[in-house]
Amino acid sequence: MSNRLQSKVVVVTGGTSGMGAAFAKRAASEGATVLIGARDRARGEATAAEIAREGGKALFVPTDVTVEEEVAHLVDVAVTEFGGLHGAFNNAGGGDSQGALRDIDTSFWNRVIALNLTSVFHSLTYEIPAIVASGGGSVVNNASVVGVVGDPAAAAYAAAKHGVVGLTRSTALEAAKDGVRVNALVTGLVNTPLWQGFTKSNPAAASALLDRQPTGRAADESEIAAFATFLLSDESPFITGAALAIDGGLTAGY
């Protein structure tokens, strides 16, 4: 493992399981000090402790990304405790995200948009100035394949993730002059605990999704973490404003 994030301070939202936890571990193994922002204290502290046992540096900061003040606090801890902020993986999202337009109401819509889009707005609002003040860096927002294609069974979620892609591109244009890169990951099927639970509870539906996957499999969490780490490193200085598919070719067929 290289040290390409050596001396960098990064935050990850939704960092207690799945892609977020995998990224936190990978970034720490590459030399970063990682601040894990999430709601689940027990899992957050366990993830930070696991990183410490492996010789890395991590701190869990209780954070509900739908609450602006808590996101601001997460960034403030990075700056005050560790001297700055150089990168972020805005990964938090999901929840009750499925539902065709005819089946959802305003409260459902607001909840999905808050968790999956407004949370990224909060994060960027506080991360970008801190990264600029630290001399520049990189932000990666976790979107989804439904950030670039439609899904008739996930109207609110698709709208939110399309919003993440648009917000990413606009913020990248705004922040480029200040030395901050901003990109989005267009992730497909990933072997997270959520996917594993879905395959057990809905095996036929999971099989149908895999049949549409050119590679015939879901990505491992470590594959997403490795790519996000690359984008946060100094090895990707000319990549910004991009919605980068890491989906096993799924969107290539649309």
User: What is the set of active-site residues?
Assistant: 157
- Please state whether 204 falls in left (phi above 0), alpha (psi between -120 and 50) or beta: alpha
Give the bridge partners for 140, in sequence order. Answer: 89, 183
- Give the 3-state secondary structure of 15-62: CCCHHHHHHHHHHHHCCCEEEEEECCHHHHHHHHHHHHHCCCEEEEEE
User: Which sign does the torsion angle of CA 219, 221, 226, 230 carry?
Assistant: positive
**Cα atoms found within 13 Å of the Cα of residue 229, Cβ hemisphere only:** 28
- Which strands sit side by side in the sheet containing 33-38, from one edge to the other? 57-62, 33-38, 9-13, 87-90, 137-142, 180-187, 243-246
Pairing, β 180-187 against β 57-62: unpaired
